[in-house]
Amino acid sequence: MARLVQKFGGTSVRDAEHIQRVAKIVHDAARGGKEIVVVVSAMGHTTDELINLAESVNDLPDPRELDMLLSTGEQVSISLVAMALQKLGLKARSFTGAQAGILTDETHTFARIKTVQPSRVETSLRRGEIAVVAGFQGMTRTSDITTLGRGGSDTTAVALAASLKAECCDIYTDVNGVYTTDPRCYGQARRLHTISYEEMLELASLGAQVLNARSVELALRQKVPIRLRSTFEPGDTGTLVTLRELSPDYQICGVALDTNRVSFRLSLPRDFSVKEPSLDDGKPNHYNVRAQRVVEELCNLGLSRDHVNLRTDGDSICEIEFNCEKRLSREAREVLLEFFPQNNGTLLRVDSDVARISIVGVGARERHQRGDMINALRQASIPVAMVTTSNISVSAVVPAKYKDDAVKQLHETFCNGHNFADAQAAT
């Protein structure tokens, strides 16, 4: 029998009324003759409220204990969704992440799924039940509860879909698909019928909050089709995330904005650029070697190599430039200062009042796109601070106050033209 995983986010289960709406959607899918696994997040803002509660007791809560606490959010949701399904006359059974066999590493609050052993879920499906599984959580080898980090419920859903060989993973949320850019920021954004895993991954990594990046990575690896749909328009088929060959013939699929960045620029004095004999701190003296170590350490923190620029003057590094998530800025600064102490004529500029704007799509592979993007921003008189490229994206850092203008300008340049065929107007 065909299997379907349906995942519902926090806004979709935020109160009893919404839970009943979710039950109705599941009910309709089950009536279609499919075996259904439902994955749910915590209700509404529960996770944030629990974090606040933890911080009212201990300002630096232990990650293991925080996971013990946060995992209750999804446990509440699964039981209520199961009850709502039973109320509609369906057989249903809820499972915590541990019970569903979601086994993770031990990185509390940001654990990675190592394997899925869903024997209880399989048994439940064979009994004709709808299995309701807690997203966002798992269990270590030693039976400790872990959580998967923000957006982790998407990952749970994709991992279960892969493990249970589901034909699709439907991710229900409060938007009805993937847009060329966030429609709340730019009314002209258009919705995509399909998007490739690679593009979706790049959009998610560059700030589009519609899907968790890890879940897309996993879906790509396991070839699980994802359909992004709205809980409030269950009839609408949303956006299908799938292999590139099924994707439309556009060059740039969208514009991503990330306002949660801090930019760093470290300028090194020219005189010190080849050697710095006065440094006696056990670190390599050559700037190039030090810079390489900085890049390694930044990557260890989770930064992408693509978003670190090293500028050379002759043979030697003269500037290190990168941007990172705000939550990592303290550690990133420490890495820089460890290898380049500030008292040696270096100049460090840190700016958190910035936005990173990116164009994403296979077209970004072409060399001219970088120049086209810089030109487009300059035409709109937007100062460009740092430009980086990855395989299928070009990103620029701009002052935060220009973010809306930048989205508009890049969308008009790259997403409204002839090279963008398959899309429909935003609803």
Residue ranges binding its own copies (CB under 8 A): 16, 19-20, 50, 53-54, 56-58, 61-62, 64-66, 68-69, 71-72, 75-76, 78-80, 82-84, 86-87, 93-94, 96, 99, 120, 143-145
Helices (H), 206-322: 213-222, 287-301
Minimum CB separation from its own copies for residue 160, in Å? 18
Closest CA to 118 of 99, 132, 142: 99
Minimum CB separation from its own copies for residue 68, in Å? 4
Q: Which amino acid is at 207?
A: G
Closer to its own copies by Cβ: residue 57 or 425: 57
Closest CA to 92 of 104, 82, 84, 78: 82
d(CA 263, CA 325): 9
Minimum CB separation from its own copies for residue 271, in Å? 49
Helix (H, G, I), strand (E, B) or coil at 341: coil
Closer to its own copies by Cβ: residue 80 or 377: 80
Minimum CB separation from its own copies for residue 418, in Å? 51
d(CA 316, CA 308): 16
Helix (H, G, I), strand (E, B) or coil at 179: strand
Closer to its own copies by Cβ: residue 129 or 258: 129
Residues comprising the chain, all counted: 427
Minimum CB separation from its own copies for residue 176, in Å? 26
* Residue pair 154/217 in contact by the 8 Å Cβ criterion: no
Minimum CB separation from its own copies for residue 37, in Å? 16
d(CA 180, CA 253): 6
Closer to its own copies by Cβ: residue 123 or 427: 123
Closest CA to 170 of 23, 25, 1, 43: 25
Closer to its own copies by Cβ: residue 54 or 220: 54
User: Where does 42-193 show beta strands of DSSP type E?
Assistant: 92-95, 102-104, 113-116, 130-134, 137-139, 145-147, 168-173, 190-191
Find tokens 């593009």 and name the residue.
199
Return all residues near 117 (Cβ < 8 A) that are at least 6 apart: 101, 103
Which is it for strands 190-191 and 424-425: parallel, antiparallel or unpaired?
A: antiparallel
Find tokens 């080849």 and name the residue.
274
Minimum CB separation from its own copies for residue 327, in Å? 20
Closer to its own copies by Cβ: residue 39 or 84: 84
Closer to its own copies by Cβ: residue 13 or 397: 13
Minimum CB separation from its own copies for residue 59, in Å? 8
Closer to its own copies by Cβ: residue 27 or 64: 64
